[in-house]
Amino acid sequence: MNNKQEHSERGDLLQAAAGYALGYLEGLDNRAVAPTQAALDGLGALGGPLPEAPDDAGAVLALLDELGSPATVATTGGRYFGFVVGGSLPVTLGANWLATAWDQNAGLYALSPVASALEDIALGWLADALGLPASVAGGFVTGATMANFTALAAARHATLARAGWDVEAQGLFGAPPIQVIVGEEVHVSLLKALSMLGFGRDRVTRVPVDEQGRMRADALPAINGPTIVCIQAGNVNSGACDPARAICAQAHAGGAWVHVDGAFGLWAAAAPKRRYLVAGIEDADSWAVDAHKWLNVPYDSGIALTRDGDSLRAAMSTNAAYLTQGENREPCQYTPEMSRRARGVEVWAALRSLGRSGVAELIERNCRQAAMLADGLREAGYRVLNEVTLNQALVSFGSDEETLRVIAALQQEGSAWMGGTRWQGQGAMRISVSSWATRDEDVQIALAAILRVARQETGRLVTAQA
Ligand SMILES: *Cc1c(COP(=O)(O)O)cnc(C)c1O
């Protein structure tokens, strides 16, 4: 095969892929959010024995689209309100495609100057948008779980270094004990990060929370000796944020390191009208934030940020000689991984295209839409269980059993997808609005669908719609 033929085959293949992708995205409005049973049944045909011989590449892509696309959950569309799932801004999807074509190893400057530079720029912009110290250091990881892990490794380093212990060299055996303080409503991924770091998920002090799930600053235990306090911006159910200013002040008075799990809630800092929710968050020592949630870049993308870059580098470097920061950013000094994809590309593209006001507008619009959904359900006579100050709403449709039935029926009906949870002993529908793709029209369609299935499932006629 000559070069020209190869080029045109590659071109055909990539054009076909772009065509399938566009077809998929343009079809999102007209399909159920959850895949149909037929689509799930079709997945079997992707398997079978390992092919003995090569197959036509175009046919492989065609098969992937034919059987794979329908078996997705339409989380990237405008009517997915489960977990906390952001869509992908078109510019970030495009940047992702281009970066994938570059196929850069973002571990080292020598392997990818552009990845290193974009991370540096994106970090500065992130700090600015989120109101964090301009000097923050950061690592681009898979998500908030690994961002928590990475930042807490820096916390572990700093806390033990102050006690005269080199944890990277000596490990935790015989180390001075560290008290780890979390809120009663701590996210499971933070506990997982603690367990991976040798802190143990049960060996923590849990601080009581208020009725919205916020850690009570007045209930923080006395702090002395090596201590890490883990607070939260954005309770995964209620969206509530711990009182950062008060907790940071008390924790710092006792010499503790304060880490913030701000997977989605930290973005409140980027919207002027919501910033009060996370007032004082910039006083902390480290932060974990997701970009694949509220910044709406493709999976996977989270960022670990620390005030003190030396601690992060000490925890993540493979060799002490790397500790001195050279002229260029060496990305692998900030992350658990060595080789990895260039996640900073999409973060850069999102921030470059949205700008400060665009990010603020995205966050503010989703918060307003969450309130629209909550107000509509409350007006119809259902109970909203939380103060809807951010992008999360919790709704009860009567008994736990009725609420479960409404959630299942909505998922089955397909015009929108909401999950379930338990909140303060009650079953609840959990609504999260986190996507640029959600238009007010989608909110109205989702609301009408919930009211329709709720009437059917509870048999209860409610005020507005009766
Ligand atoms: C989603 C979430 C996480 C975990 O984030 P991943 O990106 O899934 O790893 C951690 N903490 C909170 C508060 C979250 O909402």
- pLDDT at residue number 318: 80
- pLDDT tens digit sequence for 95-111: 999 999 999 999 999 99
Tokens at 359, concatenated = 């990010």
Ligand 1 atom 1, closest CA: 263
- Cβ neighbours for 217, distance < 8 A, ≥ 6 positions apart: 243, 246, 247, 250
Task: Determine which of 60-74, 213-227, 310-324, 358-372 has the lowest per-residue pLDDT on average.
Answer: 310-324
Cα Rg for the chain, rounded, in angstroms?
24
- pLDDT at residue number 461: 54
Q: Is residue 1 pLDDT above 80, yes or no?
A: no
Q: Residue 152: how many CB atoms within 10 A of its CB?
A: 27
Q: Is residue 464 pLDDT above 60, yes or no?
A: no
Contact 63, 70 (CB under 8 A): no
Q: Is residue 322 pLDDT above 60, yes or no?
A: no
Q: How far apart are CA 9 and CA 286, in angstroms?
A: 48
- pLDDT at residue number 5: 82
Q: Does ligand 1 have an atom closer than 6 angstroms to the CB of 84?
A: yes
Ligand 1 atom 2, closest CA: 263
Q: Does ligand 1 have an atom closer than 6 angstroms to the CB of 187?
A: yes
Our CA dihedral for 362, 372, 452, 462, rounded to 10 degrees, sits at: 170
Q: Is residue 466 pLDDT above 50, yes or no?
A: no
Percent of all residues in the chain with a pLDDT value above 90, rounded to a whole number: 94
* 3-state SS class at 318: coil
Q: What is the mean pLDDT of residues 153-171?
A: 97
Atom of ligand 1 minimally distant from the CA of 264: 15
One DSSP character per residue, 149-211 reads HHHHHHHHHHHHHHTT--HHHH-STTPPP-EEEEETT--HHHHHHHHHTTS-SSSSEEEPB-T
- pLDDT tens digit sequence for 26-62: 999 999 999 999 999 999 999 999 999 999 999 999 9
Atom of ligand 1 minimally distant from the CA of 234: 13
Q: Does ligand 1 have an atom closer than 6 angstroms to the CB of 189?
A: yes
Q: Dihedral sign for Cα 275, 278, 284, 290, please.
A: negative
Q: Does ligand 1 have an atom closer than 6 angstroms to the CB of 143?
A: yes
Q: Is residue 453 pLDDT above 80, yes or no?
A: yes
Q: How far apart are CA 420 and CA 394, in angstroms?
A: 9
CA of 156 relative to ligand 1 center, distance in Å: 20
φ, ψ for residue 200, nearest 5 deg? 80, 130
Q: Does ligand 1 have an atom closer than 6 angstroms to the CB of 86?
A: no
Q: How far apart are CA 295 and CA 290, in angstroms?
A: 8
Q: Does ligand 1 have an atom closer than 6 angstroms to the CB of 139?
A: no
Q: Which residues of 30-55 are buried (b: 16+ CB within 10 A; e: fewer)?
A: ebbbbbeeebeebeeeeeeeeeeeee
Q: Is residue 435 pLDDT above 70, yes or no?
A: yes
Atom of ligand 1 minimally distant from the CA of 143: 7
Q: Is the peptide bond before 300 cis (omega within 30 degrees of 0)?
A: yes
Q: Does ligand 1 have an atom closer than 6 angstroms to the CB of 213?
A: no
Atom of ligand 1 minimally distant from the CA of 265: 13
Q: Does ligand 1 have an atom closer than 6 angstroms to the CB of 261?
A: yes
Our CA dihedral for 107, 109, 113, 118, rounded to 10 degrees, sits at: 60
Tokens at 373, concatenated = 């959904």
Q: Does ligand 1 have an atom closer than 6 angstroms to the CB of 247?
A: no
Q: What is the mean pLDDT of residues 381-403?
A: 98
Q: Does ligand 1 have an atom closer than 6 angstroms to the CB of 82?
A: no
Q: What is the mean pLDDT of residues 287-305?
A: 98
Give the pLDDT band (50/70/90) at residue 319.
low
Residue 257: DSSP 8-state: E
- pLDDT at residue number 7: 82
- pLDDT at residue number 327: 87
- pLDDT at residue number 459: 81
Question: At residue 103, what is the residue type?
Answer: D
- pLDDT tens digit sequence for 234-285: 999 999 999 999 999 999 999 999 999 999 999 999 999 999 999 999 999 9
Q: What is the mean pLDDT of residues 373-399?
A: 98
Q: What is the mean pLDDT of residues 334-362?
A: 98
Pairing of strands 179-183, 227-232: parallel
Tokens at 391, concatenated = 């992008």
Atom of ligand 1 minimally distant from the CA of 262: 13
Find, among 231, 227, 220, 145, the residue nearest to 190 by Cα.
145
Q: Output the average pLDDT for the chain.
A: 96
CA of 145 relative to ligand 1 center, distance in Å: 6
Q: Is residue 2 pLDDT above 90, yes or no?
A: no
Give the pLDDT band (50/70/90) at residue 465.
very low
- pLDDT at residue number 321: 55
Look at 209 and 464; give whichever has higher pLDDT. Answer: 209
Mutation pick for ligand 1 pocket among 236, 286, 289 (CB with most ligand atoms within 8 Å): 236
Q: Does ligand 1 have an atom closer than 6 angstroms to the CB of 344?
A: no
Mutation pick for ligand 1 pocket among 83, 140, 187 (CB with most ligand atoms within 8 Å): 187
- pLDDT at residue number 400: 97
Give the pLDDT band (50/70/90) at residue 288.
very high
Q: How far apart are CA 82 and CA 433, in angstroms?
A: 8
- pLDDT at residue number 325: 60
Q: What is the mean pLDDT of residues 73-77?
A: 98
Tokens at 421, concatenated = 């949870």
Ligand 1 atom 14, closest CA: 263
Find, among 278, 295, 387, 294, the residue nearest to 345 by Cα.
295
Q: How far apart are CA 230 and CA 261, in angstroms?
A: 7
- pLDDT at residue number 24: 98
Ligand 1 atom 5, closest CA: 144
pTM: 0.96
Q: What is the mean pLDDT of residues 431-447?
A: 98
